[in-house]
Structure 1
Amino acid sequence: MIGIDLFSGAGGMSLGALSAGIDVQQVVELDKYAASTYLANHTPKYGLFNDDIRKFKSSKIKHRDNEGLIIFGGPPCQGFSTSNQRTRSSSNVNNWLFEEFVRLVEEYRPDWFVFENVKGILETEGGVFVQRITERFEKLGYTTSAKLLSAAGFGVPQKRNRYFIVGSLNGTTYDFPTEKFDKIITVQEAISDLPALVNGASDCYVTYNKNIKSSYAKSMRGKLKGCHNHLVTRNNSLIIERYKHIPNGGNWENIPDSLMRNYADSSRCHTGIYRRLSLDEPSVVIGNYRKNMLIHPTQDRGLSVREAARLQSFPDDFIFKGSIGFQQQQVGNAVPPLLAKSIFQSLLKQ
């Protein structure tokens, strides 16, 4: 089956599709740094359109009669996020970019589509966006199925929920894969083998210096001797001092008041701020983890790009481009590849 990835970001969904056996040949992504990362890891036959999707014109993709075509992707989700109340409404123009996804489904008429977004899309404006999207697809003749899935149930060491709408042009009702929680991957299993770092570590490449202790870490390493992107934002001494007071699973509430005086009212801080990850659980959501100051479970520093990528299920041979800030954004915005892989594997069986 041939794939077209819209709003690709760094390529997490494409990685899942490729791992499942889908030949991703056309890609659209606006951000130049995410596009650079995508092309450093994938080589789509028809290239990557690095511009506003509203300027993208559908092109003829050559494929044999027995090859199916699938369009997949996740329109920008920041406006639907439950943590973004300010722009979480129909007045946010970026919330309407799903219309471009629908447009290209109408132009290409793929056998299947997979539409992905955050849980918040179900709640924004009373669900008007989900209703509108579903109606548009069904008017085009697609049989749709939808479900909210937990990434942790598909081998991703992270408590992350994503909403999927899958559509079939041939009348097939898509059966979602079953979540499995009997073997949850923990933070310790995911990142404990990676080299220890100091605050602000900036070496682009580091060699592994610990034995592999989990099958998950082994799968992430592959046959590599070391990894790229094991980089950490440099925090000032006050922030590092705050980190020292936070236990596994704790947050800003564990910080002494004397260290929080620069906040007008520290009691109003979000519970996700200054969160130290728990070793024996999956990670909390890897979103804007630098801004939220997610803390390493045993070291007094923020997460490295590679650690965050591991918690998203990106293997260590996946290279992120751009400055550290852009790398962090790419990782946080991505669809976990292992979650995407499960979706596509199930689709191909059907």
Structure 2
Amino acid sequence: MKYTVIDLFAGAGGLSLGFKQTNRINIVAAAENNPNARKTYKRNFKEVERLYSDVRTIDYAELKDSVGKVDIVIGGPPCQGFSNANRQHSTIISMNNRLVKEYVRAICELQPKAFVMENVAMLRSQVHRFLIEENDLQDERILKLTLKEDAIELLQKQSCDISLEDLIKLAAADSQYKWAESFYKTINLLYRYRINQPKFNSSLEKHSAKLAFQLKEILGFSEESELTNVLQQYDINMANQLLHYMDCKQDFSETIISIEKAISIQRALMKMDELRDNNIHIFEYRENDEHITAIVKSYAVLDYIKGILEHEPYNYKLSENTLNAINYGAPQRRERFILVGLKDNLNAEYKIPTPQYTEGNYRTVYDAISDIQEITPFTELTADYIELPPHPDATGLEKELRGKLLYNHIATATRETAMARFKALKAGENFHDLDPSLKTTYSNAARTQNTIYMRLKYKEPSGTVVNVRKSMWIHPELDRAISIREAARLQTFPDTFIFEGTKDSQYQQVGNAVPPFLARAIANSIISILDKC
């Protein structure tokens, strides 16, 4: 017997491939918004006739009428959630929040026998939350959840002293006082280099012509207006200060202060717009000597999923697990949160797949990519492939992944600065092990992650594969970047799986994917339960 499956948020198809490798399922539909990932999915899953670009528009009643009962729903909806703990983000709310709710909608409308929701392990924490929206106030299921009060900081008084009353008036004035997006991006870029004057000067020089015109426009508007509000006053001061600095490169600290005051108000207005545009219910605003905040309430993403799906009329028995791909044959340490739901009437308990590999016999980077070390990768995007000679002595992981043709063996061309870093780093070392003279291109080298410029070790599993182009992962023995195909092998994609799209997109698709070997283990554990019911 084969089970019907739909894959929501399919990406390149890591989950789908793992389920397909069981030979026990038919994928009847999938959804993926990214055009390049969708091309990859279409190429590798030609049997899937329905490939949606937007989960929000799927008519599940029509889908059931067309393909029949759906047995299993799988997918990894992205979820940044709301986190007041992370102030590095320029936005408060990720639109990905709604995608988790779209996944829940699919379960509610299709009511499959089982579902698998995959996401990062942190989803279990209370950090990932949804903000109460206006329509949530009418939903008793949500109001019964544990709600937490959160204060969203709109503005720090030390950056810019403006009253709450004035800020609300400015926000109500629609776009009258808000900067154009392109102007904001330029000023924000300059402000990023507030502790790096050479970088500031370089960026200022690059944008000087257009920026000077925009700053003079601000001053022109002020001359036409008889009265100016506090925002305009800060804008005028910034314009004068920046034009003065552009002219004589003096008073850098005063220039930064003027930018900080003006951009702080703009950021506050942007946050207020974002809350309004997303229908977030603001319970109140608060003001003290330190900051102005918007008071909202939130509930944990996982609480929401449980609150909807564990009860009538859906009645799913949920099982939360964090699985590591390394235990299921992947040569990398990659933890993923797996939420499995089984219909209550199945009278079954979910048990995680038994680990096949443990400390001492983990597969390694060597197992995954050593057989193609001597094959020079392309540096430009190409549809060409490389014929691989037969390798009859191949065993283990190499035997499982090696194909006859090598597609996507493409790596980033190595420039002079990167090559100097490559040559300086030994296996297991990263950017922080470099001499300071090789770190000068980074505005704040101390904050660089340990995964940047990481040279892999052949005799160990890799760390979590992300976009290894952006991270500049280095081959264990060669002074070059890891290729797309090598990253795909670390993820356990076989050579027969071909990635489409731009070079950047292919690297990203690989990094975003669920390792197919992990997906296959999960699939087998679900199938074994359904076979008994």
What is the TM-score with the length of structure 1 in the denominator?
0.91
Max radius of gyration: which structure? Answer: 2
User: 2:320 & 2:96 partners in 1: Cα distance?
Assistant: 22
**Counterpart for residue 59 of structure 2:** 57
Which of 36, 41, 52 is the matching residue for 1:33? 36
Shift of 1:249: 0.9
- Mapping 1:129-140, distance limit 5 Å: 129-139=301-311, 140=314
User: 2:87 & 2:40 partners in 1: Cα distance?
Assistant: 30
**Counterpart for residue 351 of structure 2:** 175
**Counterpart for residue 186 of structure 1:** 364
User: 1:268 & 1:232 partners in 2: Cα distance?
Assistant: 26
Identity of aligned residues (%): 37
Structure 1 residues 273 and 122 mapped into 2: Cα distance closer, same or farther (>3 Å)?
same
> Is 1:315 aligned with 2:494?
yes
- Mapping 1:204-219, distance limit 5 Å: 204-208=384-388, 211=391, 213-219=394-400
1:148 is matched by which residue type in structure 2?
A: T
**Counterpart for residue 164 of structure 1:** 338
Deviates more, 1:306-315 or 1:124-133: 124-133
Shift of 1:131: 2.0
2:110 is matched by which residue type in structure 1?
A: Y
User: 1:129 & 1:163 partners in 2: Cα distance?
Assistant: 13
Structure 1 residues 162 and 13 mapped into 2: Cα distance closer, same or farther (>3 Å)?
same
> Is 1:336 aligned with 2:505?
no
- Mapping 1:91-110, distance limit 5 Å: 91-110=93-112
Which of 379, 389, 395 is the matching residue for 1:200? 379
Shift of 1:302: 1.2
- Superposed CA deviations along residues 159-180 of structure 1, whole A, max 9, x for unmatched, are 1000011111124221111223
User: 1:341 & 1:80 partners in 2: Cα distance?
Assistant: 32
SS at match of 2:371: coil
Shift of 1:215: 1.8
Structure 1 residues 265 and 100 mapped into 2: Cα distance closer, same or farther (>3 Å)?
closer
**Counterpart for residue 303 of structure 1:** 482
Shift of 1:206: 1.5
2:303 is matched by which residue type in structure 1?
A: Q
Q: Which runs of 5+ in 1 are unaligned?
A: none
SS at match of 1:15: helix
- Superposed CA deviations along residues 211-238 of structure 1, whole A, max 9, x for unmatched, are 45542111112xx332100000123211
Q: Answer yes or no: is the 8 Å Cα contact 2:8–2:32 preserved in 1.
A: yes
User: 2:478 & 2:525 partners in 1: Cα distance?
Assistant: 39
User: 1:3 & 1:28 partners in 2: Cα distance?
Assistant: 12
Structure 1 residues 88 and 4 mapped into 2: Cα distance closer, same or farther (>3 Å)?
farther
**Counterpart for residue 419 of structure 2:** 240
Q: Answer yes or no: is the 8 Å Cα contact 2:37–2:500 preserved in 1.
A: yes
User: 1:317 & 1:70 partners in 2: Cα distance?
Assistant: 26
> Is 1:152 aligned with 2:154?
no
Shift of 1:299: 1.0
1:257 is matched by which residue type in structure 2?
A: P
Structure 1 residues 88 and 193 mapped into 2: Cα distance closer, same or farther (>3 Å)?
farther
User: 1:152 & 1:329 partners in 2: Cα distance?
Assistant: 20
RMSD: 2.4
Structure 1 residues 293 and 199 mapped into 2: Cα distance closer, same or farther (>3 Å)?
farther
1:216 is matched by which residue type in structure 2?
A: L
Structure 1 residues 343 and 40 mapped into 2: Cα distance closer, same or farther (>3 Å)?
same
User: 1:36 & 1:295 partners in 2: Cα distance?
Assistant: 28
Deviates more, 1:19-28 or 1:252-261: 252-261
Q: Which runs of 5+ in 2 are unaligned?
A: 130-299
User: 1:88 & 1:187 partners in 2: Cα distance?
Assistant: 36
User: 2:323 & 2:121 partners in 1: Cα distance?
Assistant: 9
Shift of 1:202: 5.2
- Mapping 1:42-81, distance limit 5 Å: 42-50=45-53, 52-58=54-60, 59-60=63-64, 69-77=71-79
1:159 is matched by which residue type in structure 2?
A: R
> Is 1:294 aligned with 2:473?
yes
User: 2:510 & 2:421 partners in 1: Cα distance?
Assistant: 25
Q: Answer yes or no: is the 8 Å Cα contact 1:80–1:118 preserved in 2.
A: no
User: 1:158 & 1:176 partners in 2: Cα distance?
Assistant: 19
2:494 is matched by which residue type in structure 1?
A: P
Deviates more, 1:284-293 or 1:158-167: 284-293
- Superposed CA deviations along residues 268-290 of structure 1, whole A, max 9, x for unmatched, are 32111111111111111111211
User: 1:7 & 1:88 partners in 2: Cα distance?
Assistant: 24
- Superposed CA deviations along residues 253-303 of structure 1, whole A, max 9, x for unmatched, are 221211112223423321111111111111111112111111111111111
Shift of 1:210: 8.4
Deviates more, 1:38-47 or 1:205-214: 205-214
- Superposed CA deviations along residues 15-42 of structure 1, whole A, max 9, x for unmatched, are 0111122111111111111111111011
User: 1:124 & 1:291 partners in 2: Cα distance?
Assistant: 29
2:9 is matched by which residue type in structure 1?
A: F
User: 2:330 & 2:87 partners in 1: Cα distance?
Assistant: 27
SS at match of 1:346: helix
